[in-house]
Structure 1
Amino acid sequence: MATALRRPEMSAAEWEARQELAACYRVFDMLGWSEMIYNHITVKLPDEEGAFLINPFGLHFSEVTASNLVKIDIDGNKLDDNPHPVNLAGFVQHAVFHRNLPDAHCIMHTHTTAGMAVSSVEGGLRPTNFYACNFYGQIAYHDFEGVTVRSEEGERLVRNLGDKRVMFLKNHGILVMGRTLPEAFIKHWSLQRACEIQLATLSMGKPLEVPADVIAVHQRDLSKAQVPGGPGKADFAAMVRLVDKIDTSWRN
């Protein structure tokens, strides 16, 4: 599929980041992870210190394109002439991680039914299925404080995250981050599957928890079942091919 021409005022690196992020919004929508005009996926711009891209507030995920993504700095200032506003809740939550975590290149936050449900029960995600075992010992939790629009909550978000890069916002939803967008995508996809299967399992009776020693072997061997190219790269590329069969307007 041909790539749309980038706007002349953008660097090649920015245009590539815009296209990858726009594709991701369309993938999320295709997978049923949209939430009206809310929720966010952000990526840092590799050639501009402190700058990142976020979805325009007011547009559905299915309307996001490479050109209409908003470029802002770490303090929330727009860095382009985009007419769309930025959701304060999205900025506060994402900017604090982009500011404090050098490896948080891409951050994803959703309100999926399964993700919100698991974030709203005591104990959160339990190691009762294949995908949940991927995350055992790797999930942080943050208590619900209301809609995330106050900057002082950022300190607690970073503190509660610690050295983890996956978090359940209690009573709220999923937060994942990655060194690349495809890495964050495969984390989100796997976590969403884990949550869906946990809900299905609990509907049938008492779940079987996987022993810790088996989980350790499972996590050790996961990399042997990955396609070369980096975590999530082949998975994300496959999803983009499916999106292109539906609509290629995200490329513009």
Structure 2
Amino acid sequence: MQDSVRQLVSPEEWEQRVALAAAYRLVALHRWDDLVFTHLSARVPGPEHHFLINPYGMTFDEVTASSLVKVDLQGRKMMPSAYEINPAGFTIHSAIHAAREDAQCVFHVHSANGVAVSAQEAGVLPISQQSIFVLASLGYHGYEGVALRDDEKPRLVADLGGKQFLMLRNHGLLTVAGNVANAFQALYTFERTCEIQVKAQAGGGKLVGIHPEIVATAIQQSREVTRGAGGALAWPALLRRLDRIDASYKN
């Protein structure tokens, strides 16, 4: 199957497929997946508005470059696949891809820590170094049930606005970025922020907050600490880790 799909797509699409499949494997490795019920999507390079998303029924640790399903903004398959896609998942992803040209990648998970914080009225608290990067570009979207209705799309898009992070109340975490590496780095930071918050609250002591002026400079600090590389700084090392464990995501 690898050879047949690779022969049918451009080199740029194949590269995107491999990167997105790697992201699925990394989410599984960190145990942020939820059986088959969440999604990472990426736009296919080129003039068409086509997107890659996971086959509905595969666990994240099974996803490969060839198995990703290519769809248009209406969720119609653009290449043959034995699998369908999750309609609820693509409601969220298609809305953001359509509204944000810069949102080449949209990552969404139901991690336990993320859902736990999404259910807290105050949301993300400025109590960790990780949290300042999230708070600098964070929106919230209220829960409206399983995302099956098109009429939710405008509200979802409005709540995200131009931000990179979106907390879906009572639901989970979502990040957007221009490439897979940056989307994964953002998701890692978001999830770690929530994990630290839940553990800090469980300690029972009074929490020490970070001053808003420090939060306001977080984006600049992020550029400095990564030397402008963003998610690309750690991405090659993450791929090496995957290759040591199981390189079949490249198939």
Q: What is the one-letter code of the residue matched to 2:48?
A: E
The match for 2:186 is 187
SS where residue 150 of structure 2 aligns?
coil
**Displacement after TM superposition at 1:5 (Å):** 9.0
TM-score (ref. length: structure 2): 0.95
Q: How does 1:14-163 map to 2 (within 5 A)?
A: 14-163=13-162
Backbone CA RMSD of aligned residues: 1.6
The match for 1:221 is 221
The count of aligned residue pairs is 249
Could you list the runs of 5+ residues in structure 1 that have no partner in the other structure? none
TM-score (ref. length: structure 1): 0.94
Mapped contact 2:136–2:218 kept (Cα < 8 A): no
**Cα distance in structure 1, aligned partners of 2:52 and 2:219:** 32
Query: Are residues 140 and 218 of structure 1, via their aligned partners in 2, closer, same or farther at CA, if it must alter by over 3 Å?
Result: closer
**Cα distance in structure 2, aligned partners of 1:163 and 1:249:** 35
**Cα distance in structure 2, aligned partners of 1:58 and 1:31:** 20
**Displacement after TM superposition at 1:165 (Å):** 2.1
Query: Are residues 55 and 48 of structure 1, via their aligned partners in 2, closer, same or farther at CA, if it must alter by over 3 Å?
Result: farther
**Cα distance in structure 1, aligned partners of 2:166 and 2:49:** 23
**Displacement after TM superposition at 1:47 (Å):** 1.3
- Residue 164 in structure 1 maps to residue 139 in structure 2: no
Q: What is the one-letter code of the residue matched to 2:175?
A: V
**Cα distance in structure 2, aligned partners of 1:197 and 1:5:** 44
* Cα deviation code 1:1-44 (max 9, x no counterpart): xx989621111111111111111111111111121111000000
Query: Are residues 247 and 122 of structure 1, via their aligned partners in 2, closer, same or farther at CA, if it must alter by over 3 Å?
Result: same
- Residue 13 in structure 1 maps to residue 20 in structure 2: no
Question: Which deviates the most, 234-243 or 82-91?
Answer: 234-243
**Displacement after TM superposition at 1:214 (Å):** 2.6
**Cα distance in structure 1, aligned partners of 2:129 and 2:108:** 22
The match for 1:212 is 212
Could you list the runs of 5+ residues in structure 2 that have no partner in the other structure? none
Higher helix share: 2
Q: What is the one-letter code of the residue matched to 1:223?
A: R
Query: Are residues 218 and 104 of structure 1, via their aligned partners in 2, closer, same or farther at CA, if it must alter by over 3 Å?
Result: closer
Q: What is the one-letter code of the residue matched to 2:147?
A: T
**Cα distance in structure 2, aligned partners of 1:12 and 1:82:** 20
Query: Are residues 144 and 7 of structure 1, via their aligned partners in 2, closer, same or farther at CA, if it must alter by over 3 Å?
Result: same
**Cα distance in structure 1, aligned partners of 2:242 and 2:217:** 35
Query: Are residues 83 and 6 of structure 1, via their aligned partners in 2, closer, same or farther at CA, if it must alter by over 3 Å?
Result: closer
Percent identical across equivalent pairs? 35
